[in-house]
Chains A and B, each alone.
Chain A
Amino acid sequence: MAGRVKEKVAVITGGANGIGASAARLLAAEGAHVILVDLDEESLRKTSAEIGAQASYLVGDITEKATAKAYVAKAQKKFGRLDIALLNAGVEGPYGTISEVPVASFDKVMAVNVRGVWLGLASVMPAMKDTGGSIVITSSIGGLRGRGGWAAYTASKHAVIGLMRSAAMEGAPHRVRVNTVNPAPIHTRMIQSIDKAMGVPADNTGQSSARLARIPLHRYGDPDEVAAMMLFLASDESSYCTGGVYVVDGGVTAT
């Protein structure tokens, strides 16, 4: 593989598992130094070890101001620069209608999915001011459409599109590009939890047939397929892309 992000320094929140871990592996394979941020220390250690010398990690709760400051500081201390930030950590929250779900759950989802992104942007953007950079925020097709039972998640994923647009405007004069990726159901813990919570019957591939009916490509995606888009957006190949909403959704939002 060529060094599509050779010698770049990347921070990846939610980097221990799922899409974040796939992105970390892919960016490292393309030459980047990756700093993984997550709450799950054990998985962080494992993923970091798998990647090898190019990876390091930081255990932290992204809803806290100090965490974003810490991961930016780590990049600057260790490498003297920060080129890429994948603000990817997110939670789905409990399944239930707006009137059923306690407001504390709403607050938690918003804290991780929106406040965590806000805090990330607030620390990352000044750090990229002089050299430019690329920020990719993980939204969702839930940031473009609505479904019953996941209102807090939907609101949070819509919100980060708005945040992205604002950040893209603010970052543009400094060559800091900001975009979202919007995945459809991807084979990770999150969709398994969601399908389980909804009691949707899975077929023998572990996928919900009702969900598959809405996906023109008729399958869930792989984390690597989302990571591929994140790599493109992180690299200089996407140098004219900012303020964009990039679906990786098997065609769901075309229907």
Chain B
Amino acid sequence: MTLLAGKVALVTGGGSGLGAAAALSYVREGAAVAVADRNEGNVRAVAEQITSAGGKTIAIVVDVSSEAQVASMVAQVIAEFGRLDCCFNSAGIGTKEVDTLGIPLSKVTADAWNKTIAINLTGVWLSMKHELAAMGPGGAIVNVASIAGLTGVPGAAAYVASKHGVIGLTKSAAVEFSQHGVRVNVICPGYVETPLTAVTLRERGEQLLVRNPMSRFGTPAEIGDLAVWLSTDQASYLNGAVIAADGGHSVV
């Protein structure tokens, strides 16, 4: 199937996890893919993989919390491909990176809070701001929140706040961007096996599975495929939608 033939996709956080899987899904549907990540080694490796599979790609190193870098990222996509149709904003960090895993709210440092918000929330805002300017009618943006954007999780206050924020941002953007013919939706992944969740799944995996109706974790490809579908015209009436892809975790 080539639902995105001739289209150009931009994936932030494309160096690993959900982003890397989505990048490959976009390529499978015929899109050219700009893969962006702050980790140069990772993003080049994904670009390599795409090129070997016969796809069109460029690798961009970017820190999404920097407006200048985000603006440059979008400019590079346009310079290379001349257009931008789909965006998957998956760049994000968890609690481990800022050493807040299991740390209660009252003990979270300002640095940890600020960094989490800067990447997970501000990064999405900056990405959408600059992506919209480069997109024409018929485009689609998919953001990555989390089931932690729908519920509370103890010991993850900044992460939870940032992901709730991404949902709110998505809803606002959905309303605003519709004038430009661009749809904006958000995926709330449950527990998916990626580098971000590795420690949590190892330490609390069994406990988490108890409340999962499907009794398993998700795979990155399952999220990637959903992101791609939301980007295609098959999802043409979805706007401002909040889609939990979590095996049923959030409904029990």
Chain A residues engaging chain B, CB cutoff 8 angstroms:
145-147, 214, 253-255
Q: Which residues of chain A are within 8 angstroms of B215 by Cβ–Cβ distance?
A: none
Q: Which residues of chain A are within 8 angstroms of B251 by Cβ–Cβ distance?
A: 145-146
Q: Pick the contact of B151: A146, A147, A255 (CB < 8 A).
A: A255
Closest residue of chain A to B251 (Cβ to Cβ) is A146
Shortest Cβ gap from B157 to chain A (Å): 13
Interface positions of B from 95 to 148, Cβ below 8 Å from A: none
Count chain A CB atoms within 10 A of each CB in B151, B153, B211, B252 and give the residue with the most.
Answer: B252
Query: Are B252 and A254 interface neighbours, CB within 8 A?
Result: no
Count chain B CB atoms within 10 A of each CB in A145, A146, A254, A255 and give the residue with the most.
Answer: A255
Question: Using an 8 Å CB-CB cutoff, how does the interface string of B232-252 with A read, 1 for contact, 0 for none?
Answer: 000000000000000000011
Main secondary structure on A side of the interface with B: loop
Known A145-B252, A254-B151, A255-B153; further 9 A-B contacts with Cβ < 8 A: A145-B251, A146-B251, A146-B252, A147-B252, A214-B211, A253-B151, A254-B152, A255-B151, A255-B152
What are 12 contact pairs spanning A and B, CB under 8 A? A145-B251, A145-B252, A146-B251, A146-B252, A147-B252, A214-B211, A253-B151, A254-B151, A254-B152, A255-B151, A255-B152, A255-B153
Docked complex Cα distance between A255 and B154 (Å): 9
Q: Which residues of chain B are within 8 angstroms of A214 by Cβ–Cβ distance?
A: 211
Docked complex Cα distance between A120 and B22 (Å): 51
Docked complex Cα distance between A147 and B152 (Å): 19
Closest residue of chain A to B250 (Cβ to Cβ) is A145
Chain B residues engaging chain A, CB cutoff 8 angstroms:
151-153, 211, 251-252
Closest residue of chain B to A254 (Cβ to Cβ) is B152
Q: Which residues of chain B are within 8 angstroms of A255 by Cβ–Cβ distance?
A: 151-153
Shortest Cβ gap from A68 to chain B (Å): 33
Q: Which residues of chain B are within 8 angstroms of A145 by Cβ–Cβ distance?
A: 251-252
Docked complex Cα distance between A145 and B251 (Å): 5
Docked complex Cα distance between A147 and B251 (Å): 8
Shortest Cβ gap from B105 to chain A (Å): 14
Shortest Cβ gap from B96 to chain A (Å): 21
Q: Which residues of chain B are within 8 angstroms of A146 by Cβ–Cβ distance?
A: 251-252
Q: Which residues of chain A are within 8 angstroms of B211 by Cβ–Cβ distance?
A: 214
Shortest Cβ gap from B63 to chain A (Å): 33
Docked complex Cα distance between A143 and B199 (Å): 34
Docked complex Cα distance between A147 and B252 (Å): 6
Closest residue of chain A to B153 (Cβ to Cβ) is A255
Docked complex Cα distance between A253 and B151 (Å): 8
Shortest Cβ gap from B23 to chain A (Å): 33
Q: Which residues of chain A are within 8 angstroms of B151 by Cβ–Cβ distance?
A: 253-255
Closest residue of chain B to A154 (Cβ to Cβ) is B251
Shortest Cβ gap from B191 to chain A (Å): 14
Docked complex Cα distance between A145 and B152 (Å): 15
Docked complex Cα distance between A214 and B252 (Å): 10
Docked complex Cα distance between A145 and B153 (Å): 17
Q: Which residues of chain B are within 8 angstroms of A254 by Cβ–Cβ distance?
A: 151-152
Shortest Cβ gap from A158 to chain B (Å): 11
Shortest Cβ gap from B146 to chain A (Å): 14
Q: Which residues of chain B are within 8 angstroms of A147 by Cβ–Cβ distance?
A: 252
Closest residue of chain A to B213 (Cβ to Cβ) is A148
Shortest Cβ gap from A208 to chain B (Å): 14
Docked complex Cα distance between A146 and B152 (Å): 18
Q: Which residues of chain A are within 8 angstroms of B153 by Cβ–Cβ distance?
A: 255
Shortest Cβ gap from A143 to chain B (Å): 12
Docked complex Cα distance between A250 and B211 (Å): 18
Docked complex Cα distance between A214 and B210 (Å): 11
Q: Which residues of chain B are within 8 angstroms of A253 by Cβ–Cβ distance?
A: 151
Closest residue of chain A to B152 (Cβ to Cβ) is A254
Q: Which residues of chain A are within 8 angstroms of B152 by Cβ–Cβ distance?
A: 254-255
- A-B pairs with lowest CB-CB distance, top 8: A254-B152, A146-B251, A255-B151, A145-B251, A145-B252, A147-B252, A254-B151, A146-B252
Shortest Cβ gap from B210 to chain A (Å): 9
Docked complex Cα distance between A120 and B211 (Å): 37
Closest residue of chain B to A251 (Cβ to Cβ) is B152
Docked complex Cα distance between A89 and B152 (Å): 31
Closest residue of chain B to A147 (Cβ to Cβ) is B252
Docked complex Cα distance between A254 and B211 (Å): 15
